[in-house]
Chains A and B, each alone.
Chain A
Amino acid sequence: MTETLATYSLVAIYSAMAVYALAFVFFTVDLAKRASLAPEPVAATAATGQLTAARGGTTTLERTETVTTRKRGRFERAGFALTVIAWLLHLGGAVLRGLANGYVPWSNMFEFSLMMSLIVVLVFLVIQFWLDLGYLGAYITGAALIVLGIGTTNFYVDVTPLAVPLQSVWLVIHVFVAILGTSFFALGAGLSLLQLLQSRREASGKTDGFLSTVPDADKLETLAYRVIVIGFVFWTFTLIAGAIWAERAWGRYWGWDTKEVWTFIIWTIYAGYIHARATRGWRGTRSAVLSLIGFGAVIFNYTVVNLFMKGLHAYSGL
């Protein structure tokens, strides 16, 4: 039974990957088409309507124009439809894995990558109800594809009973919140990356390319900030919940174990990022670079620290 469910789970995941790949193609074509489009009002509206707190502070806020209602292109809409289908398959894969396990599907690296990509895509899809983030479609589906690809080929482990040290409610809470935090940081990193590209374009004065159809750097920075701040709250909770679990399991809430060190480093970098946003001279490019460094540390923590560094947190299952 367990074996069958685990196999079905993999089938669902592979199918999801195939559909994500299609969605990625559509989103990429959409970006290419945008590039050939004349720079339409999108950028213009955003530029005039945006709060430019960077210079004068909030006392000189301009009234923001109503949010742009750009019509989504044909390819973009197809990309979204495919992403939704892929996500449902992906969700099915995760649920089946959980049923096969008999416990939550986030107890080893394979399952972590499964859940992380699931949440990133979910957040991306849900945000569309408020914001038009179609320009991130290629980044998100591409990232989901890579994460699932690495997860299934390099990190895959068979369903086994939950190891005794992991039998704790804190596995359910701490790890899930870590996944949430990671997902928001991933989205934030995408926005920060785009912000850097955008501000380079703005500096060069070029008006073509798909970047001319996405919001200006200020707007992207604000979006990135909002997403990352949510990730930061989750990360803070992860840190605290991790300390509580460590106390339950090992009798000490903090011991500078490798994984604890990196969780702390990531937290500190993002605290730095939040400060940078509030420090004159650090808004804009510098804070965006910090956001990318922070996400780099997240990836390092998940890969190198799990696989190659010695520590108490041996949960990769490999």
Chain B
Amino acid sequence: MSRPSDYVDAATPDTARRPEITQPGLGPLGYLRFFWRQLTSMRTALVLLLLLAIAAVPGSMWPQRSSDPNGVIQFFADNPDLAPVLDSFQLFDVYTSVWFSAIYLLLFVSLIGCVIPRTTHHLKALRASPPKTPARLERLPGFTSRIEPNLDAATAIDSARDLLRSSGYRVQLFNGKDLSASAERGYLRETGNLVFHSALVGILVAVGIGGGFSFSGQKVVIEGQPFVNVLAGYDSFNPGRFAGEHSLEPFRMTLDDFSVVYEEENLRAYGTPTDFTASVTTYLPREEGQPGEVKVNHPLAVAGTNVYLLGNGYAPTITVRDGEGNIAFDSSVPFLPQDQNLTSLGVIKVPDALPEQLGMIGFFYPAAGELHSGALTSVHPDLVNPVLTLRVYTGDLGLDSGAPKSVYSLETDTLTEVVGGDSGVDTIELRPGESAELPNGLGTVTFESKDPDAGPNNWADSVPRFASFDIHHVPSQGWVLVFAILVLGGLLASLFVPRRRMWVKAVELPDGGIRIEYAGLARGEDPTLEDAVADIAERHARKLTT
């Protein structure tokens, strides 16, 4: 079957060839051939497979830059001595590391080296006819025989040929001592195996090439605001090697409404969200806006790009008037959820405030409740009792230094605290629609209500929500799926299609009539071989009597 020389079914170990190859006099070509044969042996494939499994383990023990970049930063902070050592072994980038890549590349070289000769061999086998009938069938699996006193060999074997053909066998008649039909079926088994292994290569190639052309980006969008699909429109953007600005299809999407449904009947799960829906309108160039929906598990496809809903939260609208009465800040600010009940943390930077720049750290509680300690916490994720608390700082926010600053954090070391904390002034506490004076004539801050009618009886629409979207474009995805399906199909054929030979022989008896013999032979796992022989024998008998 042209399989690797250490395949179990290979006739005998290839001891004869080995000394010849290892002879040093053979030169580089001999060595090359020797290594090639080693590399494409079953044993090497097996060892590489097991190595691959072992090599994948560390990636689950330490955070990976690809899937958990913050975890890596945290790990460095927690283990300043260990982390660089691990890093030098690429243990935070296991799946792109030199050693992991080396293993799978060798495995795939071995795979290709194994599959190509088998494919050529199999193509020949597909055209060859079944082998000669063995002289003695008695010792073969499923052997049965039957005496037919009134039949001649030619009739019996002719009808056996038709029967076998219609059962999917390829048949060849032989006329040796006795007339016989030799049949073989199940070439699909080997085809399946080859398709399986080739499709694995297909997946690797599709993933490798496709990754280069794909990109993913993230964007937080507040209700009522648009997202424009250009590089500057993203909060973060990760292009593949060949992807970039030019990969972005022109489109625009506004988040019209973000709604959440909460469980209200089951008391054990009271308040857990049971549905998130982002209602959006998408605009393609020169076209009318199209309404659409993005839900968890249900991305929205826009112009070959998929938009996924990955997170959500509140974005309180805040207005700051500075000491001179000018509006220095007027915007909705996404607050990052800190717990299940959406206690959220946000930062407000007001660089334009006069006389001094202002910075604020705020907590937002959609359903504020008081802990025993007097501190606030949120007791429900919906807008039941919205409260915003603010600490205020003055000083240089450092925004002009040019270094990138996260919009979600405020460096307070160099600032002066004027409200909250140790400043001696109580933390500002606001409900939607309320304002507060800042001390020292620094101005006022207002927590705007989105719904002018909102009040203690119904806060439902008072604070806008935001949705965080992931926007992905992975052109090779379809190819990967096609190869994956081929892998599965090939696997099924290769494991469950029985490949077998079957023989029907008519032995002429001295006193007239014939003895018909049946036997089979499995090639590979074939638990139903004997039943198959019995079945053919029985159907043949029935066919001969009608």
Contact = CB atoms under 8 A, between A and B. Distances in A.
Please indicate whether A and B come from the same complex rather than being unrelated chains.
yes
Interface of A: 2, 51, 53-54, 57-59, 61-64, 158-165, 167-168, 170, 222, 225-226, 229, 232-233, 236-237, 240, 243-245, 247-258, 261-262, 264-265, 268-269, 271-272, 275-283, 290, 297, 305, 309-310, 312
Contact of B9 (A57, A248, A255, A282): A57
Interface stretch (B319-327, B362-370, B382-390, B484-492): B484-492
Contacts of A61: 140-141, 521-522
B10 A57 contact: yes
Interface stretch (B17-25, B39-47, B174-182, B400-408): B39-47
A163 B296 CA distance: 11
B306 interface: yes
Interface string B130-148: 0000000001111100000
B522 A249 contact: no
B470 A250 contact: yes
Contacts of A63: 139-143
B312 to A, nearest CB: 10
Given A58-B522, A158-B268, A160-B268, 10 more contacts: A57-B9, A64-B141, A164-B273, A247-B477, A256-B66, A262-B60, A272-B49, A280-B42, A281-B6, A282-B43
Contacts of A249: 296-297, 308
Contacts of A240: 484-485, 487-488
Contacts of A165: 296-297
Interface string B467-498: 00010101001001100110110011001000
B148 to A, nearest CB: 22
Interface of B: 6-11, 13, 42-43, 45-46, 49-50, 52-53, 56-57, 59-60, 63-64, 66-68, 71, 94-95, 139-143, 207, 216, 263, 266, 268-269, 272-276, 296-299, 306, 308, 310, 470, 472, 474, 477, 480-481, 484-485, 487-488, 491-492, 495, 521-525, 527, 530
Pick the 3 closest A-B CB pairs, nearest first: A160-B269, A279-B42, A268-B53
A164 B276 contact: yes
A241 B377 CA distance: 40
B67 A167 contact: no
Contacts of A281: 6, 43
Contacts of B527: 226
A269 B53 contact: yes
B308 A283 contact: no
6 contacts: A61-B141, A237-B488, A268-B50, A269-B50, A271-B49, A272-B50
A250 B308 CA distance: 7
A272 B141 contact: no
B272 A161 contact: yes
A251 B473 CA distance: 9
A248 B298 contact: yes
A164 B296 contact: yes
A164 B274 contact: yes
Contacts of A160: 263, 266, 268-269, 272
Given A250-B470, A281-B43, A243 B484 contact: yes
A250 B487 contact: no
B297 A310 contact: no
Contacts of A245: 297
B60 A261 contact: yes
A63 B45 CA distance: 33
A268 B47 CA distance: 11
B488 A236 contact: yes
Contacts of A170: 297
A275 B470 contact: no
B8 A279 contact: yes
A305 to B, nearest CB: 7
A250 B310 CA distance: 7
A280 B13 contact: yes
B521 to A, nearest CB: 6
A152 B486 CA distance: 40
Nearest to A259: B60
Instruction: Please indicate which of the listed interface residues B13, B263, B297, B527 has the most CB atoms of chain A within 10 Å of its own CB.
Output: B297
Contacts of B141: 51, 61-64
Contact of B524 (A58, A167, A253, A312): A58
B57 A280 contact: no
A165 B525 CA distance: 42
Contacts of A277: 8
A278 B56 contact: no
A57 B522 CA distance: 10
Contact of A233 (B10, B269, B296, B495): B495
Instruction: Please indicate which of the listed interface residues A251, A261, A265, A277 has the most CB atoms of chain B within 10 Å of its own CB.
Output: A251
A283 B274 contact: no
B477 A256 contact: no
Given A63-B141, A167-B296, A261-B59, A276 B46 contact: yes
A264 B56 contact: yes
A166 to B, nearest CB: 9
Contact of B139 (A58, A62, A276): A62
Contacts of A164: 273-276, 296
A93 B308 CA distance: 37
Contacts of B60: 258, 261-262, 305, 309
Nearest to B485: A240
Contacts of B216: 251-252
A305 B143 CA distance: 52
Given A58-B523, A63-B140, A233 B11 contact: no
Nearest to B46: A275
Instruction: Please indicate which of the listed interface residues B143, B276, B470, B525 has the most CB atoms of chain A within 10 Å of its own CB.
Output: B525
A224 to B, nearest CB: 12
A229 B64 CA distance: 32
Instruction: Please indicate which of the listed interface residues A62, A240, A305 has the most CB atoms of chain B within 10 Å of its own CB.
Output: A240
A251 B266 contact: no
Nearest to A167: B297
Contacts of B45: 275
A255 B66 contact: yes
Instruction: Please indicate which of the listed interface residues B49, B480, B487 has the most CB atoms of chain A within 10 Å of its own CB.
Output: B49
Nearest to B61: A309
Nearest to B42: A279
B209 to A, nearest CB: 15
A268 B52 contact: yes
Given A161-B272, A236-B487, A279 B7 contact: yes
A51 B45 CA distance: 26
Contacts of B488: 233, 236-237, 240
Nearest to B472: A251
A53 to B, nearest CB: 7
Contacts of A222: 525
A167 B523 CA distance: 46
Contacts of B7: 278-280
Contacts of B297: 165, 167-168, 170, 245, 248-249
A223 B139 CA distance: 24
Contacts of B272: 160-161, 163
A64 B269 contact: no
A57 B57 CA distance: 36
